[in-house]
Amino acid sequence: MSQDGIPTMVPLQGGGIPFSRGATVASRVALTSPRISDEAPHRQAKAVSDTPAVLLVDDHVSNLVSLEAILEPLGIRMDKACSGEQALRFLLREDYAVILLDVRMVGLSGFETAALIKQRERTRNVPIIFLTAYGRDDAELVTGYATGAVDFLQKPFPPEVLRSKVSVFVELFRAQQQVRRQSELLRQKEAEARDAALRAAGYIDRLRDFTARLSEAATVPQVCRALFEQGLVAAGAKAGTVNLLDAEGEALEVVDAIGYPESVLSRWRRIPMTAAMPLVESLREQQAIWVGSPEEWSARYPLMDTRGLHEAALALPLLVKGRALGAIGLSFARPRTFTEMDRAFFTALAHACAQALDRVHLTAEERRAHSVARAAAARLQMLTEASDAFDATNRDLSVLLDTITRQVAYFLGDTCTLCLLSDDGTRLEVAASHSNQGEDGAPLLPGEGLSDFVLRGGRPLLVPELSEDQKRELGQGEALRSLLCVPLRTQGRVVGTLSVGRMGPGRSFTQEDQELVEELAAKAALSIENARLFAEQQRSQEELRRRAEFEQQLVGIVSHDLRNPLAAISMSAGLLEKKGALTEPQKRMVWRIGQATERAARMIRDLLDFTKARLGGGIALHRQTTDLREVVHQVVDELLVANPGRRVEVEVQGEVRGEWDSDRIAQVLTNLLGNALAYSPADAPVRVDTRLEGEAALLSVFNGGAPIPRELLPRLFEPLTRGALKEGQSTRSIGLGLYIVQDIVRGHGGGVEVVSSEQHGTTFTVRLPRAAG
């Protein structure tokens, strides 16, 4: 008979199982209860499955008991089978380290049982040790080893031998079990790693798709939509919200949300940074907040009732380089355990959102900066062009005023009027007006009320949209839509107004327009003031020129007409002096008359030279070959006659000749030497030096005494300038001598310099080119 392919025990005649002679009553009871012997080892195996088991197979219970006693010191688990069939049933349930199998048994023999064991894949490699109480021959050995036995023991045998052999297979089984457990654990780890890799790959794919979607987002709403449409699904959340910090950093404001009822959103659209909430806490601590269950929520936030709202939630801070932007809140429909992979995914999700939001913000800022830069460049270009136009016409006030109104109307409006205060400051008068509509456009007048506001208050007036009453007051009809009027200031006071108007709808003036018009008005006011000052200066200069010409002509006329009377006086004095019948007092009187006449003649000659220099294009020169040494000696001799008691040192180095006007050079030396004698003490040295220096001749006049005052040196060669005389000194000069000296020397192509100090006295040096240039 067989069951499940395993042969069952065949009862012997008499319905009993033969016992060995030494079998005890207990053994007989055990063997007559097959149900107990089948099931008890199974329950024991389940309890101590980690302990290696050995299967003892013998149809004699006493032998089984003996084997159990022998192997008990090994501390192993032993299952006892009384037949080959029962052994096969044991092998269906458990793996054994070794099988001790009796060769000759009732029913299936040991060899037959071993053959069946070796046929099954699971038990093919279980070691079998045959036991026999009969003599063994070579045929049995061959059969035993052929059926897969690893050893063949003949009873009786030493217990130590059996224990030793069994212990080897037990240890081998333990090692195999360890290998199996490690292999199973490795397979389990590999499976977990594969699952984790698959989950990670899924997260990476979702994150990649989400990042690609974010890269296309150009506004904050687009970033939020990408999060809700892709990030929310990838996270498995049922609701989400994006909150950003306000400008002051004092509260979180909802910028977009999905899945939350309006009643919840209305309460938390603005969350103060002092609130005890996950969003605020995550931002304050700059780390994510994970709440996996309602119980955990109640423990952390007992004052917030979220029943029915979510079962799990998380708050993710939006951080870019440590800078907080806001926070993301996600809600889940069921409790959730957030694994490390989940946390990494959500953190990456928040990081991608933060970077996208920061990029959107930077892009918007960049656009604004470009817009501001373009506006500033256009504004600068406009101001530059207007300023250039103002500067080009600021010499003519009327042209300038017209240019101002044209430029302002061209750049900023359709019509422009410039009004200036009247001379008495009581009313505004239109100084210039321009309309882009041509001559048909009427001048834009701000009216009494508006002009009074601008003039009296000194503040600009901006009317983005004119009312009907204001249009009637301005007299511009329905076309005029917007008005801008700014004051013109010069030197801190308002001197007029600049009014600009725009026609047509949708072209209202803005605050930026007002600032630009104010800048143009400031430049216009400055240009107007400059034009006025220039006109005033021109008038003053013209008046001074006419007055100077008149004075110079008068001096020339008077000087010329005085020469005849002086000549008569000089001749009369000469005739009287030649008569011998004069008394000494009369002679002295005639001599004084002659000296006074000579002094007056020199003054007249200087005045005439001055007039020629200023009006006639310079003093006329008659060049000829001149020996400077002769001129010096002649002038020195004449002056010594007129200044008895004074001494003049003369040093002439060689022959100094050149193409000069000898009379004018004598006049130069006379003036310089006369000044040296007049402005130095009687005992002070006076020296005249002449020498050649390259292609020029140098003539220097030195005198000791007090230096020329420092404040007088810069204007020493100007007309009508002379130094202060000491007490008791007199002068025959009217302050034109040095001016004439400079003009004569310049006429020769030379120059004159003066050096004066307390230590070295005063020296005038004249440099004269030897040849005419």
Looking at the whole model, is its pTM more than 0.95?
A: no
Q: Is the pLDDT of residue 559 over 90?
A: no
* Encoded tokens for 173: 């089984």
Query: What's the pLDDT tens digit per position in 329-382?
Result: 999 989 988 888 888 888 888 899 999 999 998 888 888 888 888 877 877 777
Closest CA to 501 of 493, 492, 509, 490: 509
**Confidence band, pLDDT 50/70/90 cuts, at residue 9:** very low
pLDDT at 20: 36
- Distance, in Å, from the CA atom of 57 to the CA atom of 75, rounded to the nearest integer, reads 19
**Confidence band, pLDDT 50/70/90 cuts, at residue 4:** very low
**Which comes out higher in pLDDT, residue 585 or 73?**
73
* Encoded tokens for 520: 């143009």
**Confidence band, pLDDT 50/70/90 cuts, at residue 733:** low
Q: Is the pLDDT of residue 309 over 90?
A: no
Give the whole-number percent of the chain exceeding pLDDT 90.
17
Average pLDDT over residues 513-540: 85
Q: Lowest mean pLDDT of 25-29, 127-131, 236-240, name the range.
A: 25-29
**Which comes out higher in pLDDT, residue 309 or 345?**
345
Average pLDDT over residues 686-694: 92
pLDDT at 584: 76
Average confidence score pLDDT of the chain? 80
**Confidence band, pLDDT 50/70/90 cuts, at residue 253:** very high
CB within 8 Å of 495: residues ≥ 6 apart: 420, 421, 488, 489, 525, 528
Average pLDDT over residues 505-517: 85
**Confidence band, pLDDT 50/70/90 cuts, at residue 603:** low
pLDDT at 544: 77
pLDDT at 702: 94
Domains, the chain, in order of start with CATH, read 2-184 (3.40.50.2300), 216-366 (3.30.450.40), 393-618 (3.30.450.40), 619-769 (3.30.565.10)
622 three-state secondary structure: coil
Give Cα separations from 6 to 60, 90, 94, 100, 112 (angstroms): 21, 11, 16, 19, 12
pLDDT at 43: 42
pLDDT at 701: 94
100 three-state secondary structure: strand
Long-range CB contacts for residues 320-324, cutoff 8 Å, separation at least 24 = 320/354, 320/355, 320/358, 322/286, 324/245, 324/249, 324/283, 324/286
Looking up tokens 């080897």 gives 168
H helix or E strand, kind and range, residue 530 = helix 511-578
**Confidence band, pLDDT 50/70/90 cuts, at residue 512:** confident
pLDDT at 288: 92
**Helices of type H across 429-510:** 447-457, 468-474
Average pLDDT over residues 91-107: 89
Q: Lowest mean pLDDT of 19-28, 216-225, 269-278, 434-443, name the range.
A: 19-28
- Distance, in Å, from the CA atom of 56 to the CA atom of 129, rounded to the nearest integer, reads 10
**Which comes out higher in pLDDT, residue 576 or 132?**
132
Q: Is the pLDDT of residue 13 over 60?
A: no
Query: What's the pLDDT tens digit per position in 14-35?
Result: 333 333 333 333 333 333 333 3
Average pLDDT over residues 46-66: 81
Average pLDDT over residues 496-513: 85
Q: Lowest mean pLDDT of 102-116, 296-310, 349-363, name the range.
A: 296-310
**Confidence band, pLDDT 50/70/90 cuts, at residue 443:** low
pLDDT at 216: 87
pLDDT at 80: 93
pLDDT at 446: 58
Query: What's the pLDDT tens digit per position in 173-232?
Result: 888 888 888 888 888 888 877 887 787 777 788 788 888 888 888 899 999 898 888 878
